[in-house]
Amino acid sequence: MSAAAGGFAVGSGAGVYLAALTVPLTVGTLEPADPTNARADRVVLRIDDPTNGGGTGREASVEIITGTPSAVPALPSVPGTSVYADLARIDVPRSGAGSPAVTDLRKFTAVAGGMVPVATKAELDAWVPPLGTMATTLSDGQIYTRRAGKWVTLVPGDDLRFKDSGWVNLILSRGYVAGGGATPQARLFEGVVYVRGQILKATGTFPTGETVIAKLPAGIPGPRSWIDNYSVLWPNPSIETPVRGGFVPSGDLAIRVPATLTLVSTVQLFGLSGYTAS
């Protein structure tokens, strides 16, 4: 059995050990299969350090640890050290029952903000990282991003950090119309949602309290955080008042008009922008 060239980091209570193979390495050969039961062998990157974990010298090595044949095979323990990293599991069937099967057990990481590789979707589902983390499954090459407490698949071209939707018309709520001679619009550009335009109350004035006045069009997600969550309302042509407003993750644009403000008929969306959930 051989190991390809590459680098590895192994964590411990005393710090991180860095190890590397500069050329492919022949690790060894598997022990013969048992005539009755299967077994599980373990391939590890072992760190020997007399001052931390054990060993007689300070070195790193790749080893195959032969398991015990059993009706229910389990990985063997790693003797002589407490500092190691699993590389693979080798399931060796009983003699005459087939060929050994290798399962990759390596763990991967990435620079801050980078895409983290994981072996399978099952391994990905067991990981709970911060919102917006991106990962790729090595089993099928699929890309995912963390949104609203779950992993969401990204199709090719759907990485919101690099997408430009262009300006798209907002979907106005019943009773509200475009103002200023142009339809209010939204745009997703490199992970940020921008909106522009004016929205008028078709008749009368805006009610006090929180009101949904528009929705984002399909393909533009509701931002999770705002750069500027204030819009500008005109109670009359001569007075401008900043009033809190913004899109919620569902894509609804809501504004909150205080009870002390009356005769509000227009909302100006200029400058309203926020980060998307990716």
Residues 243, 213: Cα–Cα separation, whole Å: 14
What are the tens digits of pLDDT across the range 108-165?
A: 877 766 788 888 899 899 988 887 788 888 888 788 888 778 888 765 555 555 677 8
Q: Which of 91, 125, 158 is the last residue of a domain?
A: 158
Closest CA to 223 of 245, 254, 246: 246
Tell whether 5 and 93 lie within a shared domain. yes
How many residues are given for the chain? 278
Tell whether 94 and 40 lie within a shared domain. yes
Tell whether 72 and 131 lie within a shared domain. no
* CATH number, domain containing residue 253: 2.60.40.2460
Domain that residue 117 falls in: 108-158
DSSP character string of 48-60: EETTTTEEEEEEE
What are the tens digits of pLDDT across the range 198-221?
A: 888 888 777 777 788 888 888 777
- 163 falls within a domain: no
Tell whether 7 and 24 lie within a shared domain. yes
Q: In what order do the strands lie in the sheet with 116-118?
A: 116-118, 134-137, 143-147, 150-154
Tell whether 178 and 249 lie within a shared domain. yes
pLDDT score, position 70: 95
Position of tokens 């922008």?
Answer: 273
Domain total of the chain = 3
Tell whether 101 and 118 lie within a shared domain. no
Pick from 121-130, 193-202, 266-275: least confident? 266-275
CB neighbours of residue 153 within 10 Å: 11
Tell whether 242 and 183 lie within a shared domain. yes
pTM of the predicted model as reported, rounded to 2 decimal places: 0.49
Closest CA to 226 of 179, 271, 168, 161: 271
Tell whether 40 and 87 lie within a shared domain. yes
Q: How far is CA 122 from the centre of its chain?
A: 14
Pair of tokens at residue 260: 């002390």
Task: Compute the average pLDDT of residues 223-229.
Answer: 50
Tell whether 194 and 205 lie within a shared domain. yes
Indicate the average pLDDT of the chain: 78
Q: Which of 106, 125, 147 is the last residue of a domain?
A: 106
Neighbour-count burial of 92, counting CB atoms closer than 10 A to its CB (0-12 exposed, 13-18 middle, 19+ buried): buried
Residue 237 has pLDDT above 50, yes or no: no
What are the tens digits of pLDDT across the range 51-60?
A: 887 777 788 8
Residue 35 has pLDDT above 70, yes or no: yes
